[in-house]
Amino acid sequence: MKPLLLPALLCSLAAGAVGAGIALSLGPRSAPVAQTRAVEPGAPELSREVARLAASQAELAAALEELRQAPREPARLPSEDVGAAVERYLAAREAAPGAAAEAAVDDDAQRVEEALARLLGDELDDDEVQVLWAELGKAGLSDELVAAFEARVQRDPNDPDVRVELGQAYLQKIFEVGNGPMAGVWAMKADAAFDAALALDERHWDARFTKAVSLSFWPPALGKQNAAIEQFELLLAQQQDEPKSEHFAQTYLFLGNMYQQTGQVEKALATWQEGLALYPADAELASQVELTNG
C-alpha cells in the first residue's frame, strides 16, 4: 500500500465505523484487541455482525501499528516530474543572466543613440565634443558610435555631409588609439571618407578643409605636407568665388602654417597678411603676423 494513499483510506474506514455507531480505540504500539459486550441469546444475526466488525477493527488496528513501525520515507515526485522541475530551474537560471545582458545592450544602444544626436546637434562646442567621445571610448562604445555614423552613410550614400561626419568620426578614433599602426588605419579611412564627399561635391568646404587639416598632421616622413598644401591652395582659390565667411580665415591660417613648416617663411607671412586684410578681427592671423614681423 502506498504511504500517500494510506491516510485517506484510514479516514474512509473511520467514517464508516462512526456511521455504524462503533468507537475505535487506537491504543499503544501493541496491537489492540477489540472490546465486545455480551450478546443476548436468540440474536444470531446481531452476533455475526458484531463479530465481523470486531475482526475489521482488529485488522485496522494491525495495519495502523504496521504503519507506525515502518520507517517513514519522504514523498517523492514521479521521475518525469523531477525532470521537468530540473529543466524549469535550469531555464530560469540561464534566462536571468541573459535578461540582464539584454538590458545592458539596450542601455548601451540608447547611450550611443543619445550621443549621436548630441554630436549632430549644435549645442556642443569643440571641447565638449572631445569630452563626449572620450566618455564613449572609456565605456567601450566608440566603435558602436562609429558604426552609427557608417549606418547614416549607408542610408543616404549621396549626401556629402554625412560622409564628412563619418570622416570626422574616424579622426576621433585616432585620438583614442594614439600613435601606432591603428592610427594610420583610421587616418586612411577618414581621408577616403572626405574623398567620397568631394566626389559628390568638389566644392564642399568642410570636406576639403578637414581633409587638408588631417593631412597636415601626418608624420613628415610620409610626405603628406605637400598634399595638405595643395588642398589648402585649392580651397583658397575656391573661396575667392564665394561670399566672405568668417570661417574662411582658417584656410589662410593653416596654409601659412604649412608654408612655415616647409621653410617657406615669406609665403607664410604673405598668406597670413592677406587673410588678416580680409578678416581683421581674426586674432590668430593677427598673432602670426605679429610674431613673424617681430
Query: Residue 180: which region, alpha, beta or left (left: phi > 0; alpha: psi -120 to 50)?
Result: left
**Are residues 283 and 257 part of one domain?**
yes
| pLDDT averaged over every residue in the chain | 79
Co-location of 223 and 151 in the same domain = no
Q: Per-residue confidence at 159, pLDDT binned at 50, 70, 90?
A: very high
Q: Which residue, 122, 211, 226, is CA-closest to 166?
A: 211
List phi, psi (to 5°) of 108: -65, -45
What are 70-90's pLDDT values in tens digits? 655 554 545 556 567 666 666
Q: How many domains does the chain have?
A: 3
196 Cβ neighbours under 8 A, 6+ residues apart:
160, 163
160 within some domain: yes
> Which of 135, 167, 201 marks a domain boundary?
201
Of 201, 228, 254, the residue that ends a domain is: 201
> Residue 177 has which C-alpha cell?
588609439
Distance, first Cα to last Cα, the chain: 114
pLDDT confidence tier of residue 32, bands split at 50, 70 and 90: very low
Give yes or no: residues 123 and 161 share one domain.
Answer: yes
210 within a domain of the structure (yes/no)? no
Q: What percent of the chain has pLDDT over 70?
A: 64
Tell me if 124 is assigned to some domain.
yes
Establish if 89 belongs to a structural domain: no
Which one of 50, 69, 88 terminates a domain?
Answer: 69
Range of the domain at 237: 218-294
Identify the CATH number of the domain in which residue 248 sits.
Answer: 1.25.40.10
Q: What is the CATH number of the domain that holds 138?
A: 1.25.40
pLDDT digits (tens, 9 = 90+) for 256-272: 999 999 999 999 999 99
Please check whether residues 195 and 105 belong to one and the same domain.
Answer: yes
- Please check the confidence at residue 167 and state whether its pLDDT lies above 90: yes
pLDDT of amino acid 223: 87
